[in-house]
Structure 1
Amino acid sequence: MKLPDSNAPFAPDQTAPAEQPDFVVVDVETACARVSSICQIGIVGFRAGQEVFAYETLIDPQDEFSPFNIGIHGISPDHVAGKPAFGAIHGIIAEHLTGRVTVAHSGFDKGALSAACRIGGLPFIETTWLDSVRVAKRAWPQLPNHRLNTLSSHLKIRHRHHDALSDARAAGMVILRAIEDTGIDLQGWLAKPAKPGKAPRAAETGPLKGQRIAILGERRDEALAQFLAAHGARVVSSVGTTTTMLVISTHQTFGRWAAAHAEHHKAEKLRDSGAAMEIVTEVELRARLLGNLSA
């Protein structure tokens, strides 16, 4: 999948796209501590891995501006003088979001839109929300945090932090990169994650259908477990006589090596005794499933 160039200029489009996007991304900036005080909004649509539209506007929040918030995003009362109030663009926002998958980096933007609708006596926007922070935590659990600036640095996405349109575009790139790096598609990310300690449900079909796979690595490596389940595998908690594959996670740590060594030894014994057991690294298996290696 070819990813869009995050540095290429893109003229904001004030109208809905001709083609329905696979998902849209929204980001807002606020004037003060009240989440309803939206002073800027950015919305970006993506289809087939490409940006298909962008919308951005400053908004008169009809509220005070705090020095703290101005220091974060640089938007002051002078910038929003003469700009539309939230109620005037509610219909445009609803047109872009209603009935679609809407990505936001954390629940802040969802809460801000809901608060602005409530205070303005406007209809709430019905959309399917996807938190890109949750996606990033599962896709790249090794990072120290999953703030947008940290992710942008890790993924080499250049953007202006706390600019609504730029942040929305960067969060969209996070979703595209997570899909590319994990092999989990958009519907897979929308699926309700398994509870801690509970394996994800195996897909009805897939190249790993019938496989019972144990993971050698961090128990919290949910992204790998989800990836395996999305390809039809049943993920099991440990190596047993019915296990058919042991996958060595790239997130295996030396701190868990004693337990890991025991699991690896059990898998080797089963394989050497003639059982249908395969030991493979996560990198090798992902490459195989993505068609880069022959099975």
Structure 2
Amino acid sequence: MYFIRPQSSFSRMNIEIHGVNSNQVKDAPSIFDIYGNIIQFIGSNVVVSYTEFDQRAITKCLLDHDLPLPSWQWVDASVMVRDTCQRFSTSGYNLANVCKEWRYAFDHHDALEDAKACGFVTITILRENNASITKWLNAQPSHPRNSNNSTQRFTQKRSIEGNE
């Protein structure tokens, strides 16, 4: 895991949520320093996040720094939860609630801990549904709320490019 030294100021709200301040990242690499490492690390793998926050943040960071947007396929694990777990189908599906319900302990809002929790949720859903991440990406929407064929919510089969 890397801390990245942003080229902009820190938001007080983000410091309060994540506990990371400018002093902690003053010697960290910039996005320019590690961009190639990120691209190489992800390669052609599917990127899973819990909600679209990470996808939006990464996209904004890359656009703000005039770096190319990779053609990554993203899966939103929160949508997987909503589509497979009736208890969370309409509310209460935030990462902390789901992990508490499934007895997975983690330090919420720590980036690495959140990533591990997201991985736990994703693997649990895939295992319980005898599926692979590729199967989720290629599946047709099955939930009634997706019947209008608008956005295929549970697959989030969008790349980080353009307006897909």
TM-score interval, smaller chain: 0.7 to 0.9
Which of these two proteins has the greater Rg computed from alpha carbons?
A: 1
- Asked if 2 retains the 8 angstrom alpha-carbon contact of 1:97 and 1:126, the reply is no
Query: Is 1:155 matched up with 2:118?
Result: no
Which runs of structure 1 show a deviation greater than 4 angstroms over 4 or more consecutive aligned residues? Answer: none
User: Structure 1 residues 109, 171: closer, same or farther in 2, change over 3 A?
Assistant: same
- 5 Å matches for 1:170-189? 170-189=117-136
Identity %: 28
User: Structure 1 residues 90, 192: closer, same or farther in 2, change over 3 A?
Assistant: farther
Aligned mates of 2:145, 2:11 — CA distance in 1: 44
Q: 1:81 aligns with which of 21, 26, 32?
A: 26
For residues 17-57 of structure 1, what are the alpha-carbon distances to aligned partners after superposition, in whole Å with 9 as ceiling and x for unaligned? Answer: xxxxxxxxxxxxxxxxxxxxxxxxxxxxxxxxxxxxxxx01
Q: 1:103 aligns with which of 32, 48, 52?
A: 48
Other-structure match for 2:160: none
Q: 1:118 aligns with which of 52, 63, 67?
A: 63
Aligned mates of 1:91, 1:64 — CA distance in 2: 24
User: Structure 1 residues 126, 72: closer, same or farther in 2, change over 3 A?
Assistant: same
Q: 2:9 aligns with which of 47, 64, 68?
A: 64
Post-superposition shift, 1:151?
1.3
Higher strand proportion (structure 1 or 2) = 1
Query: Is 1:140 matched up with 2:88?
Result: no
Post-superposition shift, 1:166?
1.0
TM-score by length of 2: 0.80
Aligned mates of 1:155, 1:127 — CA distance in 2: 29
Aligned mates of 1:87, 1:158 — CA distance in 2: 34
Equivalent position amino acid for 1:148 in 2: L
Structure 1 residue ranges without an equivalent (≥5): 1-55, 200-222, 224-295
- 5 Å matches for 1:275-290? none
Post-superposition shift, 1:126?
1.8
Other-structure match for 1:227: none
Post-superposition shift, 1:158?
1.4
For residues 204-241 of structure 1, what are the alpha-carbon distances to aligned partners after superposition, in whole Å with 9 as ceiling and x for unaligned? Answer: xxxxxxxxxxxxxxxxxxx9xxxxxxxxxxxxxxxxxx
Tell which has more relative contact order, 1 or 2 (C-alpha 8 A, sep 6+).
2
TM-score by length of 1: 0.46
Structure 2 residue ranges without an equivalent (≥5): 148-153, 155-164
Number of residue pairs the alignment of both structures matches: 145
- Asked if 1 retains the 8 angstrom alpha-carbon contact of 2:17 and 2:109, the reply is yes
Aligned mates of 1:123, 1:95 — CA distance in 2: 14
Aligned mates of 2:133, 2:71 — CA distance in 1: 19
Equivalent position amino acid for 1:93 in 2: I
- Asked if 1 retains the 8 angstrom alpha-carbon contact of 2:78 and 2:93, the reply is yes
Aligned mates of 1:197, 1:91 — CA distance in 2: 39
